[in-house]
C-alpha cells in the first residue's frame, strides 16, 4: 500500500522563506513523491501569498483552541505530485511577516503556531489521511502533543505515527504557562516529560518529548545536541530519546541550485566547462559596484546568511582589520540583527574598493554570490546542517567553515577549508591558507572540481526518511 505522509511546517519554498527550513520543505516532499510516497504539505497562508492560483478546498475548517473557534479555511495547490495545503486563518496569518515585524515577534505566536499544530492533526481527518505526521521545528512542536492528548482515541488516528525534525535547537518557542488553557491543553502536559521547561511551556520540547521519532538535519548535530555545551537545556531529554533520534543530512535541490541551469546567472557553467564562472564573477562584482578589472584575479569571499549570532560573524568583527590586510574582496548579503548589519556596513564604508554589503533578502543576489565568489565563508558558532556550503560546493566556490554540525559532515580538507575552535584568530588563519591556496591555479581548480563532483541531492536523504517511516509503521 502506498505510504502517505503529511508534512507540517511554517515555511516552504517558494511560498514563504526565511531560511533553510523552507528549502528543506520545498525539496524533501518532492523527493519523497518521486519515490512513490503520497505526500502533502500544510503551511500557513501568510498575507503575501496570493490566492489566485490556489483552490479553496475547505470552508469553516475547525480549529478549536480552548474556548475559541478560530475562523479558517483551507486552500490547495498541486505541483509535481505533492499537494500543498494552505491554512487560511486571516486573524492569525494574514500578515506580512512569518514570525515578526520590525524586529518584534508577534505577541500571539503561541496561538498562531498552536493553531497550525491543531490544523496538522485536523488535516489528517478532513483533508489527507496520513500514516505519518511529519512536523518541523518549534512552530509545529505541539502537533505530536495534540495528537496524543486530543486525537489518539479517534479511530482515524490509531495508526498515525509522528516524526519531529529539529532544524535548529536554539529556537524553542517558549511561552508562559498561562498559555496552556488558551491552547486547550490540559494541565497534565505541564510536566517535565512533555511541554514543561524550567517553569514555562516549550513547543520544541513538546515535539521532542512526544513524537514517535525525532530527527535532526545532520549526523554530527545529532551527537552535538546530546551534550550540555550544545543542548540548550534539552540534552538530557535528547539523551533519553537517543534510540529514537536520527541525524539525517539535508540534501540540496539541484533543480534550483546548479550553475549549469541556474537562471539567475550571467553565464552557466559546469565541471566540464568552467569559463562561465569567470563571467559570473565579473557580473557579481559589477552588480555590487566593485571593479571587475581590479578584482578579477583576487579571491572574492562570499557570504549569504541570516545575520544572527549563530552564524559566527562576531569572529569577522574580532579580526576585521587583519582580515582586510589580506589581498581579498568580500561580498556580503544578509539581513538580521542590527549589530551585524553595522559591522558589514562599516567594513564596506572603510574598504569601498574591496567590500560590498547588501542588506536584505534577495534570492537572485544569493545565487549570483554563490556563482561569482571564489570562496564562501561560514564561521557558524553551530550549524545544524547548513545549505549554503552544499550549494557552494556545486558552484565551485570553495567553502571556509567552522567544523561543526552539518559543516563538519559536508566539507572536507579536499573540498574546502575547515577550522576547529571558535576564535577569530583560528578563522583568520584558515582564510589566510585559503587565500594562499588560491594562488596555485592548478591545485585550486582541482579543489573546485572535487567539490563540484559531490552529490548531495535529496536521493540518499529521502531514502533515509523512507526507511524511518517504514520502521515506525512496522
Ligand atoms: P539557516 O536556515 O540557518 O538560515 P541554511 O544554510 O540552512 O541556514 O539556509 C539558508 C538559506 O536561506 C539558503 O537558501 C540561503 O541562500 C538563504 N538566505 C539566507 N539569507 C538570505 C538573504 N539575505 N537573501 C537571500 N537568501 C538568503
Ligand atoms: C536551520 C539551521 C540550518 C539548516 C536548516 C534546514 O535553519 O540553522 O543549519 O540547514 O535549518 O534544516
Q: Which residue has the cell 539525517?
A: 248
Ligand with minimal distance to 257 CA: 1
- Omega before residue 422 within 30° of 0, cis: no
Apex CA 222: angle with CA 217 and CA 226, to 5°? 145
Mean pLDDT of the chain: 97
Pocket test residue of 309, 341, 387, 401 for ligand 1, highest count of atoms within 8 A of CB: 387
On whether the 4-251+459-473 domain is CATH 3.40.50.300, my answer is no
From the CA of 13, the nearest ligand is: 1
Give the per-residue pLDDT at 103.
85
Do you know the residue count of the chain?
474
- Give the closest residue to 57 by CA, choosing from 84, 40, 75, 79: 75
Pairing of strands 329-336, 300-307: parallel
Q: Residue 24: its pLDDT value, please? A: 98
According to CATH, where is 3.40.50.2000 located in the chain?
Answer: 4-251+459-473, 275-456
What per-residue string of b and e applies to 334-360 under the rule 16 or more CB within 10 Å gives b? bbbbeebbebbeebbeebeebbbbbbe
What number is the average pLDDT over the span 171-176?
Answer: 98
- Please tell us whether the domain made up of 275-456 is placed in CATH 3.90.1300.10: no
Cβ < 6 A, ligand 2 pocket: 19-21, 24, 167-168, 217, 250, 383-387, 406
Phi, psi of 321 (to 5 degrees): -70, -40
Measured in Å, residue 305 CA sits from the centre of ligand 1 at: 5
Q: Which atom of ligand 2 is nearest to the CA of 405?
A: 9
Q: For the segment 357-413, what is each residue's pLDDT rounded down to a tens digit?
A: 999 999 999 999 999 999 999 999 999 999 999 999 999 999 999 999 999 999 999
Query: What's the average model confidence in pLDDT over 279-297?
Result: 97
CA atoms within 13 A on the CB side of 142: 31
Question: Are the C-beta atoms of 301 and 327 separated by less than 8 Å?
Answer: no
Answer whether residue 54 shows pLDDT above 90.
Answer: yes
The number of the ligand nearest the C-alpha atom of 14 reads: 1
pLDDT band at 473 (very low <50, low <70, confident <90, very high): confident
Contact 402, 224 (CB under 8 A): no
If you take atom 2 of ligand 1, which residue's CA is the nearest one? 20
58 near 127, Cβ under 8 Å? yes
pLDDT at 471: 95
Cα R_g (the chain), whole angstroms: 23
Q: What is the mean pLDDT of residues 456-469?
A: 97
DSSP annotation of 151 reads: I
- Quick one: average pLDDT of 91-107? 96
pLDDT at residue 467 in the model:
97
pLDDT at 369: 98
Q: Give the pLDDT of residue 423.
A: 98
pTM of structure: 0.97
Amino acid at each position: 500500500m502506498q505510504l502517505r505522509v503529511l508534512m507540517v511546517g511554517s515555511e516552504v519554498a517558494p511560498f514563504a522563506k526565511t531560511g533553510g527550513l523552507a528549502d528543506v520543505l520545498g525539496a524533501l516532499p518532492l523527493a519523497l513523491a518521486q519515490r512513490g510516497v503520497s505526500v502533502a504539505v500544510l503551511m500557513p497562508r501568510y498575507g503575501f501569498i496570493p490566492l489566485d492560483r490556489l483552490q479553496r478546498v475547505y470552508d469553516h475548517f475547525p480549529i478549536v483552541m480552548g474556548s475559541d473557534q478560530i475562523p479558517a479555511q483551507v486552500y490547495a495547490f498541486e505541483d509535481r505530485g505533492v499537494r500543498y495545503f494552505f491554512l487560511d486563518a486571516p486573524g492569525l496569518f494574514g500578515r506580512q511577516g512569518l514570525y515578526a515585524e520590525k524586529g518584534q515577534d508577534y505577541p500571539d505566536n503561541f496561538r498562531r503556531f498552536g493553531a497550525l499544530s491543531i490544523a496538522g492533526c485536523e488535516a489528517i481527518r478532513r483533508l489527507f489521511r496520513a500514516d505519518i505526521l511529519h512536523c518541523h521545528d518549534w512552530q509545529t512542536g505541539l502537533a505530536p502533543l495534540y495528537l496524543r492528548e486530543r486525537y489518539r482515541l479517534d479511530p482515524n488516528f490509531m495508526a498515525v505515527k509522528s516524526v519531529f525534525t529539529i532544524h535548529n535547537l536554539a529556537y524553542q518557542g517558549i511561552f508562559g504557562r498561562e498559555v496552556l488553557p488558551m491552547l486547550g491543553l490540559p494541565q497534565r502536559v505541564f510536566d517535565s516529560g512533555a511541554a514543561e521547561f524550567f517553569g514555562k511551556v516549550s513547543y520544541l520540547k513538546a515535539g521532542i518529548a512526544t513524537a514517535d521519532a525525532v530527527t535532526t538535519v545532520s549526523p554530527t548535530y545529532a551527537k552535538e545536541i546530546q551534550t550540555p555545551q550544545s543542548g540548550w537545556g534539552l540534552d538530557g531529554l535528547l539523551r533519553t530519546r537517543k534510540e529514537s533520534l536520527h541525524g539525517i543530512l539535508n540534501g540540496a535541490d539541484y533543480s534550483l541550485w546548479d550553475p549549469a541551469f541556474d537562471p539567475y546567472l550571467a553565464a552557466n557553467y559546469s565541471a566540464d566547462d568552467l569559463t562561465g564562472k569567470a563571467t559570473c564573477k565579473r557580473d557579481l562584482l559589477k552588480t555590487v559596484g566593485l571593479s571587475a578589472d581590479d578584482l578579477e584575479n583576487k579571491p572574492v569571499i562570499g557570504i549569504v546568511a541570516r545575520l544572527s549570532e549563530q552564524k559566527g560573524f562576531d569572529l569577522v568583527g574580532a579580526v576585521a582589520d587583519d582580515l582586510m590586510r589580506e589581498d581579498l574582496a568580500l561580498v556580503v548579503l544578509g539581513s538580521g540583527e542590527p549589530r551585524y548589519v553595522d559591522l558589514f556596513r562599516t567594513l564596506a564604508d572603510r574598504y569601498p574598493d574591496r567590500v560590498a554589503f547588501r542588506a536584505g533578502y534577495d534570492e537572485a543576489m544569493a545565487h549570483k554570490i554563490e556563482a561569482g565568489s571564489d570562496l564562501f565563508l561560514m564561521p557558524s558558532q553551530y550549524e545544524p546542517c547548513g545549505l549554503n556550503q552544499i550549494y557552494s560546493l556545486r558552484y565551485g566556490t570553495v567553502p571556509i567553515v567552522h567544523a561543526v554540525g552539518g559543516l563538519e559532515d559536508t566539507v572536507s580538507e579536499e573540498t574546502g577549508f575547515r577550522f576547529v575552535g571558535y576564535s577569530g584568530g583560528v578563522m583568520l588563519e584558515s582564510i589566510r591558507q585559503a587565500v594562499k591556496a588560491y594562488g596555485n591555479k592548478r591545485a585550486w581548480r582541482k579543489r573546485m572540481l572535487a567539490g563540484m563532483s559531490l552529490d548531495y541531492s535529496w536521493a540518499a536523504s529521502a531514502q533515509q526518511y523512507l526507511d524511518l517511516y517504514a520502521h515506525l509503521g512496522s
